[in-house]
Amino acid sequence: MNLEMFLKMQNELLLVVLLLAVLVGEIITSQKGKSKLINFTIIAFAIVTLIGFFHQPDGALFGGMFHTNSLIQLLKNGLNVGVLIILMQSAGWLKETLVKQNKSAEFFLLMFSSLIGLNFMISAGDFLMFYVALELSTLPVAALVAYNAYKRQSAEAGIKLILSATLASGLALFGISFLYGTTGAIYFDDMANLLQMSNLTILGLVFFFAGLSFKVSLVPFHFWTADVYEGAPINVTSYLSVISKGAAVFILTFILFNVFKAFSDIWKPMLYTVAIATMFVGNLFALRQQNLKRFLAFSSVAQAGFMLLGIINGGVLGAASVVYFVLVYMFSNLGAFGVVQAISHKTGKENMDDYNGLYRTNPMLSMVMMLGLFSLAGIPPVAGFFGKFFLFTAAAGKGYYILVFIAVVNATISLYYYLKVIRAMFLRQSENPIPYFKNDIFMKLGLATAAAGILILGLYSPLYEYVQSISNLIFN
Amino acid sequence: MISGISIYHILTLTTILFFIGIYGFITRKNLIAILISIELILNASVVNFVIFNTYLYPDMLQGVFFSIFIIAIAAAESALAVSIIVSFYRMLASVDVKDTETLKY
């Protein structure tokens, strides 16, 4: 036992240090220094993100409660980059709105504690760690959703999120208690060896899956998604839809592949039906949305359905395609959300009709939006196409041809509504389009990073090969 | 272990508690009552953990530890939920579910 052991959790430790630094900085800075504190925090977080790329530790801590390897570190880096993009996109909003209300530093505190929770969650080696980390990642987000204290919709969304998240964790806990009762173990490894097929364990699996489905917003449990996404501030919405969903998909894959390995006859048909329902409901409801936040909410429900196609493969190929798609989806969604954020911050407009003729006034923003939406829809040169392609390959490799066919039909439906936004921006004309405006440097950087991520992930193939070469690590 | 009471009795009790919680979550019209229903659900699993530990694996303590963590986190959750409900109450002077319907479909 020496202190160097703790370098295995360097990412979490660095984030805790940063969080404390922001807390102290908030206390000692004057009112005028607050916007400098915002710049400092973003730059410090960028450095933390960079460190993650250089030092990649392996191994387990605390008797196996915490473990990490290159695949988990890759995902943690991805989450860090995603949060960095979100913070850069929200810098202007923070400086102009929240500094006046004197609650800009709390935004960082809550976001970083939620990110620490997600990091611990994907590194968890037993159910206790998993549960505590799940709550640590959910509770701060609920506070962030209700951040606009004087807006009715924000409080309403906060209530909806916290109540459904607690119900979800209650369901998952009830399932875990059955699994504990049948095996006497809470470690993932021990439980995988001891689990035997019985009605009680299947009930436990179903409850656990239901609990985690809330977090991923799969279909019977997706009702909170659109409401919360619409009511929350936009950067919180993109955090919920990208970062927290990506981590939850990864841990769902990890637990199904490891703990419930012997149960694949049970969870594969379950995923099959849930995937079909999720894709159809997400896509068909997205068709009739006018508010862009709700529209992207339902599109993210549909994308979660596509991710299940990778999980259903149950092997290394499935894991690789899911991790790759999570990274791709992150950049694409952040690009789209970033543009919605920029426009909503400057003009307060969030509806699809407001975007008519956007290309003539703000060509750069419309280009980024187009890249993001093309990537979400899966149009060839950009990353989203390859993400979907590998997911479909993974499902077809195990003989799920009907499921792949249904997924392709859904991808076509989704193309229609993504193109609706693009048509509004490029082809429609408007009497009073959104006027031209300049974005601050952080917003530009955030959008540029997202756009670069979309293009690089799609065009530079060694990245996918790298993901595939390390994704056998998902099996402990 | 309690003499005269088998594990089946207590598991039946916790299952009933759990489904009372689910029923309450769906049917109650008051946000605080929904919060109470969620506490029922969480407490059902707390009792489950303790009972499995005492009856089946008496030489280990994992279940008991797990239940302590659940109790602590449930307290944090309900504190946060109540504070969000309070900020909602300040705006509308109401804690009814029917007032949280501006975001729909």
Domains and CATH numbers, chain B: 7-95 (1.10.287.3510)
pLDDT computed for residue A169 by the predictor: 92
Q: Which of B69, B70, B87 sits opposite A149 (nearest CB)?
A: B87
- How much is the pTM? 0.93
DSSP secondary structure of A61-103: EGGGTEEE-HHHHHHHHHHHHHHHHHHHHHHHHIIIIITTTT-
Characterize A56-73 residue by residue with b for buried, 16 or more Cβ atoms within 10 angstroms of its Cβ, and e for exposed. Answer: bbeebbeeebbbbbebbb
Q: Is A332 in contact with A454 (CB distance < 8 Å)?
A: yes
Report residue A62 as tokens: 């605390």
Q: Is A231 on the interface with B (CB under 8 A)?
A: yes
Give the integer Cα–Cα distance in Å for A231 and A213. Answer: 21
Q: Do B66 and A180 touch (CB under 8 A)?
A: yes
Q: How many CB atoms lie within 10 A of CB A283?
A: 24
The pLDDT, as a whole number, for residue B105 is 59
CB-nearest partner of B38 from A159, A160, A163? A163
Instruction: Specify the 3-state DSSP secondary structure of A381.
Output: coil
Task: Report how far Cα A407 is from the mean position of its chain's Cα atoms.
Answer: 21
Closest-approach residue (CA) in chain A for B98: A156
Give the model's pLDDT for residue A33: 80
- Amino acid identity of residue A38, one-letter, is I
Choose among A80, A111, A91: nearest CA to A37: A91
CB-CB contact of A45 with A83 (8 Å)? yes
B35/chain A closest Cα distance in angstroms = 7
Question: Which chain B residues have a beta carbon less than 8 Å from that of A152?
Answer: 88, 91-92, 102
Interchain contact, A181 vs B104, CB within 8 Å: no
Residue whose tokens read 């530093």 = A105
Helix count and strand count (H, E) for chain A:
20, 2
Facing residues of A291 across strands?
Answer: A351
pLDDT in tens, chain B (105 residues): 777 888 899 999 999 999 999 999 999 999 999 999 999 999 999 999 999 999 988 888 888 999 999 999 999 999 999 999 998 898 888 888 888 877 775
In Å, how far is B42's CA from the nearest CA of chain A? 5
Q: From first to last of its 476 residues, what are the pLDDT tens digits of chain A? A: 677 777 888 888 899 999 999 999 888 888 788 888 888 899 999 998 998 888 777 888 888 888 888 888 889 999 999 999 999 988 888 888 877 777 888 889 999 999 999 999 999 988 999 999 999 999 999 999 988 878 888 888 999 999 999 999 999 999 999 999 898 888 888 888 888 888 889 999 999 999 999 889 888 888 888 889 988 888 899 999 899 999 999 999 999 998 888 888 888 899 999 999 999 998 988 888 888 888 888 999 999 999 998 898 888 888 889 999 999 999 999 999 999 888 888 888 888 888 888 888 888 888 898 989 999 888 887 888 888 888 898 888 888 899 999 999 998 999 988 888 888 888 888 777 777 888 888 888 889 989 998 888 888 878 888 888 888 887 86
d(CA A21, CA B18): 42
Q: Given this model, what pLDDT does residue B95 score?
A: 87
What is the maximal distance between C-alpha atoms in chain A? 70
- What does the alpha-carbon distance between residue B23 and residue A167 come to, in Å, rounded to a whole number? 12
Both structure tokens of A382: 């950009």
Alpha-carbon A383 to chain mean position: 17
CA distance B41 to chain A (A): 6
Contact predicate A359/A403, CB 8 Å: no
Q: Is A172 helix (H, G, I), strand (E, B) or coil?
A: helix
- Report d(CA A221, CA B60) in Å as an integer: 35
Alpha-carbon distance of A209 to A172, in angstroms, equals: 7
Q: For residue B9, what are the CA distances in angstroms to A108, A181, A363?
A: 48, 15, 68
Q: Give the model's pLDDT for residue A428.
A: 80
Whether residue A9 contacts residue A68, with contact meaning beta carbons closer than 8 Å, is answered with: yes
Six token digits for residue A115: 């990110």
State the Cα–Cα distance between residues A143 and A236, nearest whole angstrom: 10
Tokens 């800075």 sit on residue: A29
| Nearest alpha carbon to residue A215 among A304, A337, A95, A336 | A304
Give DSSP secondary structure letters for A436-474. P-PPPHHHHHHHHHHHHHHHHHHH-THHHHHHHHHGGGG
Nearest to A476, CA basis, from A189, A118, A76, A196? A189
Annotate B87-100 with b (16+ C-beta within 10 A) or e (fewer). Answer: bbbeeeeebeeebb
Q: Write phi, then psi, for A413 (nearest 5 degrees).
A: -60, -45
Strand partners, B96: B30
Check CB contact under 8 Å for B103 and A173: no
CA distance A360 to B73: 52
What is the pLDDT at residue B3?
78
Structure tokens at B96: 């009814």
Indicate the residue type of A177: S
Contact B100 A156 (CB under 8 A): yes
Other residues' Cβ atoms within 10 Å of the Cβ of residue A87: 23
Q: How far is A88 from chain B (nearest CA, A)?
A: 27
A291 touches chain B (CB under 8 A): no
Count of helix runs (H) and strand runs (E) in chain B: 3, 0
Average pLDDT over chain B, rounded to an integer: 89
Q: Under an 8 A CB cutoff, do A128 and B69 touch? A: yes
Q: How large is the ipTM?
A: 0.94
Q: Partners of A187 in the beta sheet?
A: A126
DSSP bridge pairs for A204: none
pLDDT at residue A1, rounded to an integer: 62
The radius of gyration computed from the CA coordinates of chain A, to the nearest angstrom, equals: 21
Report the greatest alpha carbon distance in chain B: 54
Q: Hunting for tokens 């976001």 — which residue is that?
A: A111
